[in-house]
């Protein structure tokens, strides 16, 4: 039995996860096409607004949604990194190591491009902040990110499977240290050291 809290998103066939996947495909297609869709832009924008209007009609009140999205299972589905129901999430696929480590894999496409053919550095920070945070949750001592130091060793390629790791390094009262890496083809491209602080009072209380 593994006593660590689960941090992986429950995968479902169909449902909202399919809608989010379709939305990711739209984003990818728009970035890929660029000016090639300029002549159809009016029709395309109208069609997409029509879809958004239909979804908005079904949405619950915003305040209710902000609360429910942070419930334990819901936050795993809706966060912007591995949340399968959040179209902004690449999504990173998380696996939980037996030793408490967290690992993830993801292949990023054009919407995440920084330098030509490579991942935007802010996206690396997003992935590492999240995976270090998940490693802390798994370890049973988690907090808010207070400081995240990244070292960019080499450019991170698009269209190749990336491996993201995170582990809790030490706990000193409310201060929690965690480290992690992003690797491509077995080479570490980005490494991170994070300081997380457990707030005196939980957020929102
Ligand atoms: C399954 C679910 C999936 C869901 C997904 C779950 C994973 C998500 C992970 C993502 C995590 C985030 O992005 S969190 C969002 C981004 N982060 C934030 O918004 C945090 C904003 N900052 C804050 O709220 C605050 O500054 C805190 C909470 C970090 C600290 O405030 P505080 O609680 O008042 O702490 P304070 O008493 O001042 O300091 C406590 C100790 O920490 C040190 N300390 C505090 N801040 C710093 C700092 N930046 N750099 C160095 N040291 C610092 C102090 O010197 C002190 O050391 P000493 O004197 O005791 O030695």
- Which residue's CA is the closest to the ligand 1 atom numbered 49? 146
Return the structure tokens found at 19. Answer: 């809608």
The residues, ordered by sequence, that sit 6+ positions from 140 with a Cβ below 8 Å of its Cβ are 4, 5
Prediction ipTM score: 0.95
CA of 182 to the centre of ligand 1 (A): 23
* Candidate CATH numbers 3.10.129.10, 3.40.50.300, 2.10.60.10, 3.40.50.920; the one for domain 92-197: 3.10.129.10
Give CA angle at 177 (174, 180), nearest 5°: 150
Give the pLDDT score at 203. Answer: 55
- Which residue's CA is the closest to the ligand 1 atom numbered 45? 146
Show pLDDT as tens, one digit a residue, over the chain (205 residues). Answer: 345 778 887 888 789 999 999 999 999 999 999 999 999 999 999 999 999 999 999 999 999 999 999 887 889 999 999 999 999 999 999 998 878 899 999 999 999 999 999 999 999 999 999 999 999 999 999 999 999 999 999 999 999 999 999 999 999 999 999 999 999 999 999 999 999 999 987 654 4
**Ligand 1 atom nearest residue 134's Cα:** 7
Spatial distance between the Cα atoms of 38 and 15, rounded to a whole number of angstroms = 32
Query: Which one-letter DSSP state was computed for residue 35?
Result: G
- 200 in contact with ligand 1, CB cutoff 6 A: yes
**Delimiting residues of CATH 3.10.129.10 domain(s) in the chain:** 92-197
Q: Report CA-CA distances (Å) from 20 to 50, 65, 80, 95.
A: 16, 17, 12, 21
Return the structure tokens found at 46. Answer: 């109208």
Tell me if residue 154 falls in helix, strand or coil.
Answer: coil
Spatial distance between the Cα atoms of 25 and 46, rounded to a whole number of angstroms = 18
Return the structure tokens found at 141. Answer: 């001592």
- 129 in contact with ligand 1, CB cutoff 6 A: yes
Pocket test for ligand 1, best of 144, 171, 199 (most atoms within 8 A of CB): 144
Spatial distance between the Cα atoms of 52 and 57, rounded to a whole number of angstroms = 9
Give the residue among 107, 102, 196 at the shortest CA–CA distance from 149.
196
Spatial distance between the Cα atoms of 168 and 179, rounded to a whole number of angstroms = 6
């Amino acid at each position: 039995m593994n006593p660590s809290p689960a941090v992986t998103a429950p995968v479902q066939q169909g449902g909202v996860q399919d809608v989010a996947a379709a939305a990711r495909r739209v984003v990818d297609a728009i970035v890929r096409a660029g000016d090639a869709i300029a002549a159809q832009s009016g029709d395309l924008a109208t069609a997409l607004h029509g879809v958004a209007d239909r979804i908005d009609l079904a949405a619950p009140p915003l305040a209710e949604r902000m609360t429910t999205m942070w419930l334990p299972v819901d936050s795993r589905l809706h966060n912007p990194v591995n949340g399968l129901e959040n179209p902004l999430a690449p999504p990173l696929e998380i696996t939980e190591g037996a030793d408490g480590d967290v690992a993830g894999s993801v292949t990023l496409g054009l919407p995440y491009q920084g330098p030509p053919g490579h991942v935007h550095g802010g996206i690396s920070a997003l992935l590492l902040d999240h995976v270090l945070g998940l490693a802390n949750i798994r370890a049973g001592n988690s907090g808010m990110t207070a400081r995240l130091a990244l070292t960019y060793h080499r450019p991170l390629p698009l269209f190749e499977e990336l491996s993201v790791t995170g582990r809790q390094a030490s706990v000193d009262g409310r201060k929690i240290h965690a480290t992690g890496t992003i690797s491509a083809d077995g080479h570490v491209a980005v490494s991170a050291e994070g300081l997380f602080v457990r707030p005196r009072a939980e957020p929102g209380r």
